[in-house]
Chain A
Amino acid sequence: MAHAAHHDDHAHHPTGVMRWITTTNNKDIGTLYLSFALLMFFIGGSMAMIIRAELFKPGLQFVDPQFFNSMTTLHALVMIFGAVMPAFVGLANWMIPMMIGAPDMALPRLNNWSFWLLPFAFTLLLSTLFMPGGAPAGGWTMYAPLVLQTGEAFPFLIFAVHIMGISSIMGAINIIATVFNMRAPGMTFMKLPLFVWTWIITAFLLIAAMPVLAGAVTMLLTDKFFGTSFFSAAGGGDPVMFQHIFWFFGHPEVYIMILPAFGIVSAIVPTFARKPLFGYASMVYATASIAFLSFIVWAHHMFTVGMPLAGELFFMYTTVLIAVPTGVKIFNWLATMWRGSMTFETPMLFALGFIVMFTIGGFSGLMLGVTPADFQYQDTYFVVAHFHYVLVTGAVFAIMGATYFWLPKWTGHMYDETLGKWHFWLSTIFVNVLFFPQHFLGLAGMPRRIPDYAVQFADWNMVSSIGGFCFGATQLLFLYVIVKCVRGGAKASDRVWEGAEGLEWILPSPPPYHSFVNPPLVK
C-alpha cells in the first residue's frame, strides 16, 4: 500500500528502509503490519499446501511424519500469530485513529516497537526449520509432555511465543489508550463505530489472555531445563494442568481472531445496504458478553481428558450459551439488510460470504460444544473443518473484505472490481471444496494431525486437497489485485462508497499523514 502523502513538512525524516524501520506513524505501521500479515499468510499457506499434498492420497509420498507434524504446528502458529492477528492490528492502526477523529495512535513509539518485535519473533520461530531435531512438531497447542521432546528448537519456540506475546500486549495497550484518550470531542463511547468497539474488547482479551500463555510456556521451559515438575505426575503436577492454562488463553484467543471481524462486517453491511446498522447497542452488549463468556468455556477443548462430570457439564452449558450473543449479531446483520438498498461490490460479497460461512462454522462449534457428541468429534477432521470455517471463511474473509473496503481510502485508487469479484467467487467455491468434505472425514472417523490415513478416507481427502490447491492459487489473484491497486488505478473519491458513513470517509483519499491534526467536532 502506498504511503500516505506527507502534509506536514518533516525535513529530517529518514527515507528508504529507515523510514519504515523508525516510523512512528500509525499509517506506516499499519501498512507494515498488513504487509507482514500477507507475507505470513503466504508462508503459512505454503505449509498448508504441503499438508494437503501429503494427504492427497494414502501412503507417505513427500514428507516424513515428523516433518508433517512440524508443518501442522508451524502452519497454525504462523497463521494465527503471524497472519490473522497482525492483520487485525494493522487494520486497527490504519482505521481507529481516523474513525475516532485522532491524529495518530496514543503511544507512537511503542506502536513501532509492537510491530518490530514480530519479524524477530518469526525469525526465531522459522529458524527452527533448519535445526537438528527439526522444527516444533507437537501441535500449536504445545501440549506437555510431547512438546518437551522437541529438540534444539524447543527454547526458540518458547521465546518466539514470548516475543509475540509482548508484541500483542503492547499493541493492545496502545489501542486502549488511543480509544480511551484520543477521541474527538463529542465522540462518546456509544457513538464509536463497531469496529472500534470490537477492537477495544479484543484488546482487553489480549491483555488478559496473552500473559497467561506466556506463563504457560514459561512453565514448559522450566520443566524442560530447570527441573520443575508442573506437568509431570511424578512430581505432583499434571500434564492436563498445561491444557487448562493453555486453553484459558486459547479460547479467548479464538475470539480475539473473530471479534474484529465482527466489527468489519458491521461496517461493511450497513454501507452497502445503505441503511444504518440494526441494533447498535445490542451489538455492543453481545460483543461484551461473548468476551466475558470466552473466559469460562475453555475446557470445551478438553472434554476427553477425564475431567470430573460437574466440570464437563459446566463447560458444556457455558459453551453452548455463546451461541446466543453470536446469534444476536447474525440476526442484526440480517435486519440491517432487510429493506435496505443493496449493491454487491467485492467488500459486500466478502461480508455476505462471511455471514453464511461463519455461521456454518458456528454451527459445527455448537455441535462440538455438546459434550457427549464431542467425544466422537474431538481430534478429528470435524474439528479441523469447524475451525477453518470460522478462521478462514470467518476471520480471513473479513480481513479480505476489509482490504477491499478500505484499500481505496488507503491508496487513493480504486481496485479492479472485476478481479475482486473473481477473487471472491473463486475463493468461496474452492474454500468449500477444501473444508466442507472435512466434516465428512471427521464424522467417518479420520483423526487430525496424521500424515497418512486408512483408505476409506481417500476420496474426500483428494477432493479437499484439490480444493486446497485451487484456493491457494486463487490467493495469488488477491496479491495481484492489491499490488495493482497500490500502483495505480482510477482515482478514489473521499467517500469512496455511496453508503459510507463515519469520520474516515470525510478525509481525503489517501488521508493526510496525521489524520486529524485538529480534531473534528462530532455532532
Chain B
Amino acid sequence: MSGTHTGTGYYLPDPSHWPITGSIGLFSILGGFALALDGHAAGKAVMVFGALVMLGMLFGWFGTVIRESEGGQYNSQVDVSFRWGMAWFIFSEVMFFAAFFGALYYARQLSVPWLGGEGDKLATHQLLWPGFSAAWPVLSTPNTTLFMQIKEVIPAFGVPAINTLLLLSSGVTVTIAHHALKHNNRGLLLLFLFLTIALGVAFLSLQAHEYGEAYRAKGLTLNSGIYGSTFFMLTGFHGLHVTLGAIMLTVIWLRCLRGHFKPNHHFGFEAVAWYWHFVDVVWLGLFIFVYWL
C-alpha cells in the first residue's frame, strides 16, 4: 500500500489493521488480567494471548512506520506531527506520575501528620489512633496487624545514589550518541547507544536487587503501609518506564546497526532519546522526594 500524498507532500496512510489489532491485544491483556485478579483460571491464558497480539501489533505497526520512513514517504511536516505527538505523550506520562507524587505529598504533609494529631485533627489521634506517632518514613503504621512494620528503609546514599549516577550518565551517553548521529559518526553512535542501554540495564538490575533486599531483609513491602505503598508505586512505575525505554533503545540500536537514520532525519531516535530523558528526570524527582528528603 502506498498511502496518499497531499499537494504539500503530507503523507496520509491507507487503511490499516494495526490499530484494531492493538485494541484486541490491549483488551485481551487487561480483560485477562481482570479475570485473573478475580481468580479465574482462564485469565492468564487470555493475558498471554493478548500480549502476543500486542507484540505482533507493535512489530507490525512500527515496522510499517519504519518502512515508510526509510522509504522517504515522510516530509518534514510529518516529522513535526510526530514531534508534537511524542512531546504531548510524554507530558501525559508526566501527569500520570504527578498523581503518584501527589499521593506522596498528601501522605507526608497531610494524612500522616493528621493521624498523629496535628492540625485540627487532634480528636482523630486521641480517639482512634492513640498509639500512633507521626513520622516519615512511617515505620510503624496506625494499625500494625493490617499493615506490617518496616524494619529499615533504603538509605538514599547507597544504591539509590549509584543508580542516580547511572541514569544521569546514561542521559549523557545518549546525548553523545545523538551528536554522533548528527555528525554521521556511526561507530561512536553505536558505541554510545550501547553504553546507554547497558547503563539502563545496570540500573534495572540494581533496582531489582534493592527490591529483593527490601522484601527479604527490611520488611519494606507493598503491604507495609503508606510508605511502602508510595515507595513501590513510584519506583515500580518508574522501573517499568525504564524497562520500556531500554527496550526502545535496543530497537533503535538494532536499527542503527542496520544503517537506519540520517543525520538530518531521525525522529525515531530522538523520540526515544526524549523518552529516556523524561525517565531520567522522573528519577531525579524520585531520588529527592522518595529516598532523600
Could you list which residues of chain A lie within 8 angstroms of chain B, going by C-beta atoms? 8, 10, 12-14, 18-19, 21-24, 103-104, 106-110, 112-113, 116-117, 119-120, 123-124, 152, 154-156, 158-159, 162-163, 166, 169, 172-174, 176-178, 180-182, 207-212, 214-216, 218-219, 222, 225-230, 232-238, 240-241, 244-245, 248, 308, 514, 516-519
Contacts and interface: CB of A to CB of B under 8 A. Distances in A.
30 contacts: A19-B15, A108-B13, A112-B19, A112-B20, A113-B19, A117-B23, A119-B23, A120-B26, A155-B33, A155-B34, A159-B30, A178-B81, A181-B84, A182-B10, A207-B88, A207-B95, A215-B102, A219-B103, A233-B111, A233-B115, A234-B143, A234-B147, A235-B229, A236-B112, A236-B225, A237-B111, A238-B114, A241-B103, A244-B102, A519-B6
B96 A107 contact: no
Contact of B226 (A104, A117, A207, A235): A235
A120 B54 CA distance: 15
Contacts of B61: 109
A101 B4 CA distance: 17
Contacts of A238: 106-107, 110-111, 114
A216 B142 contact: no
A235 B6 contact: no
B6 A514 contact: yes
Given A22-B20, A104-B12, A108-B13, A233 B85 contact: no
B6 A103 contact: yes
B146 interface: yes
B27 interface: yes
Contacts of A119: 23
B233 interface: yes
Contacts of B146: 229, 232, 234-235
Given A106-B85, A124-B27, A236-B115, 18 more contacts: A103-B10, A104-B12, A107-B81, A120-B26, A159-B31, A166-B26, A169-B89, A180-B80, A208-B95, A212-B96, A214-B99, A222-B233, A225-B37, A235-B229, A241-B110, A244-B106, A308-B120, A514-B4
Interface string B109-128: 01110110001100000001
A519 B91 CA distance: 30
Contacts of A176: 84, 88
A212 B85 contact: no
B184 interface: no
Q: B-side binding surface: helix, strand, loop or mixed?
A: helix
A224 to B, nearest CB: 8
Nearest to A21: B20
A257 B267 CA distance: 34
B264 interface: no
A12 B23 CA distance: 23
Interface string B34-65: 10011000000000000000000000010000
